[in-house]
Structure 1
Amino acid sequence: MAQMKAKPWFFIKKGSWLTLSVIIQPKLLSFVTMNPPSNKPPITPSTTPWTWPWT
């Protein structure tokens, strides 16, 4: 069985990586919004201890 040459696959891999990073990724990142920073302190909910039925 003939062995495939590695040279064209390197350029295919680099070309697909370049296409992803330059063309596709900025389009995908435009849909993702970052959470704005908040100056409020985080609110911790008040919890009550659990009453175990066997005590």
Structure 2
Amino acid sequence: MPQLNPSPWFFILLMSWVTLLLIFKAKIITSTPHNPPMLPDMTTSHTTPWNWPWT
């Protein structure tokens, strides 16, 4: 029984993975929102001190 040349099978395997990853990358890029995230204003935040029950 003749042995198969592994070179074309390896190439097909690599090309199928590259194609699959490119498809998933395109789907991820199109599903992300394009507006930038809003950073909260850190100067206006004020915390109240804790009221301890025994004081």
**TM-score band w.r.t. shorter chain:** 0.3 to 0.5
TM-score by length of 2: 0.45
> Structure 1 length as normaliser, TM-score?
0.45
The structure having more radius of gyration, on CA atoms, is: 2
* The structure with more helix, counted as a fraction of residues: 2
